[in-house]
Amino acid sequence: MSKLIVGIVGFGVVGSSVLKALLANRNIISARAGKEIEVKHIIVRDEAKAHIKLRNLNATDVKVSTNVDDILQDCEIEVVIELMGGVESAYEIAIKALKAKKAFITANKAMLAYHRYDIAPLANGLPVGFEASVCGGIPIIRVLKDGLSANHILAIAGILNGTSNYILTQMQQYNQDFYTALTQAQNLGYAEADPTLDISGGDAGHKLLILASLAYGINAMPEEILIEGIEGIMPDDIEFANEFGYVIKLLGIAKKQENEVELRVHPCMIKKGAMLSKVDNVMNGISVIGDYVGESMYYGAGAGGDATASSVVSDIIAIARGESAAMLGFSQPLEGNEHLKLKNIDEIYSQYYIRLYVCDKPGVLGQVSQILGQHNISIGAFLQKETNDKNIAKMLLSTHHCYERDINAALLELERLDSISQKPYKMRIEY
């Protein structure tokens, strides 16, 4: 059987799992790939550590060094797999690998969020695999690129980050507050010491941008889209959600209407019956609506060495089989897509949930509803409760559909009222 020889840059959790999978599942992988896959060389920071890992994996014949050029200059190596993280340094490896006429595989969503449209033209027929970059083990890249390729994608809504989903699940199912849930996630190894990227929505934003390119061929940068995190969610919000049949999830949402694409990441109330509402703990789930397929949903582990390795190795197998689709799924620009633009955040049209703490005195509700009304916002559900401070009541309400610009203007006006005791909080209601 012929061989496909690969080199790996980075030998952390995912890198070791990739090598482990290739060795443990060698037979089935080569039967599916039609070639034997050999890891010839691994680039690491710490050679001594790497040698220990390799000994544990019974893979001492794999070469180890610290200089990526050792892989790039090795003519036998046909595929470079980047698993080291970082943005610019990883991008440089992509450039060098493709220039050296090697296929390129990466699990690096942050790098792709910035450089996917720099890499695509460099590929020039060489396969570039990035199944592992979004939702770990769920083959969502292939679903959008191949499985649903007949469709105009009307909408994507995804729980794209396991850490924040774990925290939200804990808050909702065990009445924990945000910081307790976060600490627990950190203790369990689900959250990094610095959890900012997970909690702020930044990581989900990177993934959403990759999915949006496959769906729409749109190039947008993380800084250009609406990204809100889960830090502001309070037990009151969960109480309201429960009362009115919602679950709170951090969603990445993409929608296209005519030549505008809407891309946003934010916490969201979604109906308890929706399939996405069942995606709990560290799991990920993505709902995709296509004009022919209707709604379909994909669920699985979003992170972890083995699940991510499953995707990296699937890319290797695809390359061994001679995969030839363009990196981002479009062999040529979609007609009319040169005019595609990002929808202005102000133009988002949604239902909203609003949390207000108000001075408990007559006439406040009237004031609130008057201001909302002046901004074309009408109230749907309403819940008012006392707080521990008997002068302050909490007012939790949902609106009918309205524009983001209107809700923001209304909240700004409300914030200025003497009777409002804290900055109002809003959350979108979708699905």
- Site residues for a second copy, 152-171, by CB under 8 A, read 152
Cα separation, 218 vs 230, in Å, equals 26
Q: Which residues are catalytic?
A: 207
Q: Which residues are annotated as a binding site for L-homoserine?
A: 192
Cα end-to-end span (Å), the chain: 50
Q: Does 297 bind a second copy (CB under 8 A)?
A: yes
Q: Is 376 in the site for a second copy (CB under 8 A)?
A: no
Determine, following the binding rule CB under 8 A, whether residue 150 of this chain makes contact with a second copy. Answer: yes
Residue list, annotated binding site for NADPH: 109
Q: Strand pairing of 36-43 and 63-65?
A: parallel
Tell me if 330 contacts a second copy by CB under 8 A.
yes
For a second copy, which residue of 69, 177, 291, 389 counts as binding (CB under 8 A)? 291
Q: Which of residues 257-286 bind a second copy (CB under 8 A)?
A: 275, 278
Secondary structure of residue 107 in the 3-state scheme: coil
Does the footprint of a second copy cover residue 318 (CB under 8 A)? yes
Q: Residue 122 CB, nearest distance to a second copy (Å)?
A: 18
**Are 142 and 131 contacting, i.e. CB atoms less than 8 angstroms apart?**
yes
Is residue 138 a contact residue for a second copy (CB under 8 A)? Answer: yes
b/e map of 337-360 (b: 16 or more CB within 10 Å)? eeebebbeeeebebbbbbbbbbeb
The yes or no reply on residue 87 touching a second copy (CB under 8 A) is no
Secondary element (H or E) of residue 95: helix 88-99
Give the list of residues 6+ apart from residue 311 with CB closer than 8 angstroms, or none. 107, 131, 132, 136, 137, 139, 141
78 part of the interface to a second copy, by CB under 8 A: no
Stretch that binds a second copy, among 23-31, 38-46, 86-94, 386-394 (CB under 8 A): 23-31
Strand spans (E) along 53-199: 63-65, 79-82, 103-106, 128-129, 153-159
Q: By CB under 8 A, is residue 398 in contact with a second copy? A: no
Contacts of 55 (CB under 8 A, 6+ apart): none
In the complex with a second copy, the residue whose CB is nearer, 75 or 150, is 150
Position 217 contacts a second copy (CB under 8 A): yes
Can you give the binding site for a second copy, defined by CB under 8 A?
1, 17, 21, 24-25, 27-34, 131, 137-139, 142-143, 146-152, 217, 275, 278, 290-301, 304, 306-307, 309-314, 316-318, 321-326, 329-337
